[in-house]
Structure 1
Amino acid sequence: MKKRFALLLSIIIFLLSIFMVGCSSEEVKNNGKEKVITDLLGREVKIKENVERVVAIGPGALRLYIYVGGKDKIVGIEEFEKKNAKGRPYIIANKELIDLPVVGLGGPNNPPDPEKIVAVKPDVIFTTYAKDKAEADNLQNKTGIPVIAISYGKTSLFDNAVNESLRLIGKVINKEERANQVVDFIENAKKDLEKRTADIKDENRPTVYIGALGMKGMHGIESTQGKYSLFTALNIKNLADETGKTGSVMIDKEKLVEWNPNIIFIDLGGLEIVKQDYSKNTKFYDSLTAFKEGNVYSQLPYNFYSTNIDTALVNAYFIGKTVYPERFNDINIKEKAEDIYKFFVGKELFDKMQGDFGELGKLDMK
């Protein structure tokens, strides 16, 4: 009887052990589920179903991630991101990121550091560094970690590559709803800006110029942009479009005299350079109608390690209200700015940005 009982007990224990092993194996299988996504370079990348650890490297990569995922899951950042948070709301609003391990130097001209990335054990690497499939594959082969290429595209704002990147981030970290909300916010702002100004007759549109735009550093009034995306969205008559160029361009100051714009905007990042030049060449500046009539206004710098989309949108509404006041009379810039910053990074940072760079408004060079 005892032998029979012992045998029965052994069988039960054996069956239970098989059951437990089976459960354990199934649990590992479930936790190890994978999915395949296609990145911005058209690469098919196999990733974990539940990504928990992330690094985002290259100009703007961390910013786009934070817009969708906040600071959660980030396990390391580039040294460049730690150096100076000024002008970068995504860092200002998430100062805890500064204490994370360094995963490379960062910056526009420094390649990724595979060893430092591997050290923080990310599940995925988002990168804006990779310009082609080979470059992305090379980093993936060196680290053994899935590399997902994202992009800002070619324009400073309202580029569809940004929307695709935001949605891709959402898909990877299972925050597709938030990603769609961010894309919708950007697209709705674009539609609002365009709708407010679309029906203004050409003869009623003032001529406008923007100077002192940052381009791999700070510059004076000669630094501008053709097809400037903020102006384009507002249907503004951008005199720099006459250069036939898209994006950053340095003009001859005499060209500015020839154009003689009705309104001039100065990026606050280059304001001091303009002020110094004004003190040396006052006669030149005072020959311009915009300076003579007091129609010179500021713009917050928004290109720091690629585009701060939130600040760019704040500028767009301010520019619209300045050039077409009757079309934006319902917009309170401070309220609009705080809504924008809070949506993108979770904090109201308009006062902080103005404290760091100067106020949005009319400029007096004297």
Structure 2
Amino acid sequence: MKKSLALFLSIIVIFLSVFIVGCDSKESKNNQKEVVVTDLLGREVKIKENIKRVVAIGPGALRLYVYVGDKEKIVGIEEFEKKNLKGRSYIIANKELMDLPVIGLGGPNNPPDLEKLIAVKPDVIFTTYPKDKQEADNLQSKTGIPVVAISYGKGALFDSAVNESLKLIGKIVNKEERAKQVVDFIENTKKDLEKRTYNIKDEDKPYVYIGALGMKGIHGIESTQGKYPIFTVLNIKNVADETGKIGSVMIDKEKLVEWDPPIIFIDLGGLEIVKQDYSKNSKFYDSLTAFKKGNVYSQLPYNFYGTNIDTALVDAYFIGKIVYPEKFKDINIKEKADEIYKFFVGKELFDKMQEDFGKLDKLNLKF
């Protein structure tokens, strides 16, 4: 009888132990810590506290992540990111990303590939694709993966949406200090550029034009921008502001003759088109004061699948040095550029950028 009772009690103890361990395991699994974040579309998204696997899709999403997060957590990239690396410092400096699985075509007009996204099992999807909450919710619902919308805003360069996106990425992947450093770097650069030029008298500010800017493709000298962010932060008079438009605008060449700005910048992305046009219409170009006096300069292209913020800041210092040489006489462009690239992507890439596009320098189209 005593043996039977002892055996019965032993069985009860074993059963209770298994039950308790099982409950603890289930509770541990079900109660994995989560955080709730609000994305750039105002959506509240539940995310695991310890993120280990990440993907970033849509124009500029991967770039913003690379500026802040651990590259080792990225588990796949879009095919578009593997094509034509020219100008994209975040990929050039981290070519190991090219070996990752493809998670979709990518590009501004291609929707996310649900099957490929699910296949790499990310803990979170950062994306710039959704135009509204419904699109983001649909992607999250169909994949079963938390979707966090990030954004470059309307202006991209010095837009508060960029800073908020960087901070959000930092919070989610436990890189808040790095995110703060990046945001501070951008803001301090903006302050430095403004401080150097804010007190220049209006009569001492020359009118300037920027042409051949990329806009869903490459264009000639007619392609420009109203309220060009680099000109704005440098307190430069932009002749294209007369159009009353903000952002990309195509002007008539006759308008450029009418404006006749003393300084012209040409984006190196469209330089070949400008050269071809010059060979056919040299009289037009030679009638412009900037061309007559040799005041035509280059700019590195910084818009390609979103804004390459590092390159835009390099351009800002170069343009400032050309338009207001006395205010930027302490700036060595190569040193400043390499400082900027190294901070954002970990490598000094100024020589590589010039090798790919051409030099930041005075331009001579008479060949």
TM-score range (shorter-chain normalised) is: over 0.9
SS at match of 2:186: helix
Contact 1:341 1:348 in 2 (8 A): yes
Residues 182-202 of structure 1 show CA distances to partners (whole Å, capped at 9, x for unaligned) of: 111101111110110000001
Partner of 1:256: 256
Number of positions where the alignment pairs a residue of Structure 1 with one of Structure 2: 365
Distance in 2, Cα, partners of 1:2 & 1:335: 86
> How far does residue 5 in structure 1 lie from its aligned partner after superposition?
8.3
Contact 1:263 1:296 in 2 (8 A): yes
Runs of 4+ that moved beyond 2 A: 1-30
Partner of 1:334: 334
> How far does residue 19 in structure 1 lie from its aligned partner after superposition?
6.3
> How far does residue 350 in structure 1 lie from its aligned partner after superposition?
0.5
Partner of 1:28: 29
Matched, 1:299 2:296: no
> How far does residue 29 in structure 1 lie from its aligned partner after superposition?
5.2
Q: Structure 2: which 5+ runs fail to align?
A: none
Partner of 1:167: 167
Matched, 1:54 2:54: yes
Contact 2:56 2:65 in 1 (8 A): yes
Distance in 1, Cα, partners of 2:70 & 2:289: 46
Partner of 1:236: 236
Distance in 1, Cα, partners of 2:336 & 2:185: 13
> How far does residue 84 in structure 1 lie from its aligned partner after superposition?
1.4
SS at match of 1:72: helix
Residues 135-174 of structure 1 show CA distances to partners (whole Å, capped at 9, x for unaligned) of: 1111111111111111111114111111111111111111
Contact 2:156 2:162 in 1 (8 A): no
Distance in 2, Cα, partners of 1:333 & 1:176: 30
Distance in 2, Cα, partners of 1:11 & 1:150: 55
1:157 alignment partner AA? L
Partner of 1:352: 352
Partner of 1:222: 222
Partner of 1:314: 314
Partner of 1:45: 45
Relative distance call for 1:23 and 1:144 in structure 2 (3 A) is: closer
Partner of 2:190: 190
Distance in 2, Cα, partners of 1:233 & 1:102: 38
Partner of 2:281: 281
Distance in 1, Cα, partners of 2:14 & 2:110: 60
Distance in 2, Cα, partners of 1:348 & 1:152: 24
2:287 alignment partner AA? S
Partner of 2:77: 77
SS at match of 2:73: coil
1:112 alignment partner AA? P
Distance in 2, Cα, partners of 1:14 & 1:174: 41
Q: Structure 1: which 5+ runs fail to align?
A: none
Distance in 1, Cα, partners of 2:258 & 2:149: 44
Distance in 2, Cα, partners of 1:108 & 1:321: 34
Partner of 1:67: 67
1:105 alignment partner AA? L
Contact 1:70 1:345 in 2 (8 A): no
Partner of 1:205: 205
> How far does residue 24 in structure 1 lie from its aligned partner after superposition?
3.8
Distance in 2, Cα, partners of 1:70 & 1:160: 23
SS at match of 2:125: strand
* Paired-residue identity, %: 79
> How far does residue 70 in structure 1 lie from its aligned partner after superposition?
3.9
Contact 1:267 1:300 in 2 (8 A): yes
Which shows bigger deviation, 298-307 or 148-157? 148-157
Relative distance call for 1:252 and 1:59 in structure 2 (3 A) is: same
Partner of 1:364: 364
1:82 alignment partner AA? K
2:150 alignment partner AA? I
> How far does residue 27 in structure 1 lie from its aligned partner after superposition?
4.4
Partner of 1:91: 91
> How far does residue 99 in structure 1 lie from its aligned partner after superposition?
1.1
Distance in 1, Cα, partners of 2:234 & 2:357: 24
TM-score (norm 2): 0.95
Distance in 2, Cα, partners of 1:108 & 1:17: 54
1:280 alignment partner AA? K
1:146 alignment partner AA? P
> How far does residue 18 in structure 1 lie from its aligned partner after superposition?
6.1
TM-score (norm 1): 0.95
SS at match of 1:221: coil
Contact 1:211 1:222 in 2 (8 A): yes
1:46 alignment partner AA? K
SS at match of 1:139: helix
